[in-house]
Amino acid sequence: METLLNAFAVLFIVIDPIGVAAIFAALSRSHTIPARRRMAIIATLLAGTILLVFLVFGDALLRLLGITLPAFRIAGGVLLFLLAIDMVVVRQSGLRSTTSREQLEAEQKADLSVFPLAFPLIAGPGAITTVLLMSARADGVTDVVGLGLIIVLVMALTLVCLLFAAALSHRLGETGANVISRLMGLLLAALAMQFILDGLRTGLLG
């Protein structure tokens, strides 16, 4: 249970549904409500599928590439720590958002569901790394199923935030969204350091 709660916390913080909803609200201002609803549903389904694929085949992928679990824990922890710094200082980077050129391209698109919503806003590098770490730590089919349900739950919460993106963005405002982002960034920094320490301990003992 503790492992599942930890996985939920990390994945929820990394994806940051509230932050994604704020970006989606800004990009989809010119779209109709039915179009926004359709894009939100398609994006979460696609992003969820991507993350589930990495969950199921992630461990095999690491073995195929010859990457040990301690090495990936350290690398993944470093990546998540960089992501946490971005969240704390409220800086948008390619780890959890779109670049300025990507955002300009997105604003001119009629359909935002695949790019940039599903990738990289929801199933971005940070989320994929998190799922790979979860996959590497899974012990048996039961763990994989449990982690899969965690992904589905986070996607469901993300969908709710996207469906109410305009109202959520208006209610919180930029300051409220930034405060939440900073708090979640602090939590993610601590979790990232735990990944790094676990990787170092396992690698040295091994």
d(CA 19, CA 95): 13
d(CA 192, CA 76): 8
Token output for 150: 């965690």
Which pLDDT tens digit goes with each residue over 113-168?
998 899 888 998 889 999 998 888 788 889 999 999 999 999 999 999 999 998 98
Residue 140 lies in domain: 2-205
Which pLDDT tens digit goes with each residue over 101-110?
666 665 666 7
The total of structural domains in the chain comes to: 1
Exposure of 143 in the CB half-sphere (CA atoms within 13 A): 16
Which pLDDT tens digit goes with each residue over 45-78?
999 999 999 999 988 888 898 988 888 889 988 9
Which pLDDT tens digit goes with each residue over 154-187?
999 999 999 999 898 888 887 887 788 888 888 8
Contact criterion met (CB below 8 Å) for 44 and 162: yes
Angle at 83 between CA 41 and CA 94, to 5 degrees: 65
Closest CA to 19 of 151, 132, 128, 179: 179
Length of the chain in terms of residues written:
206
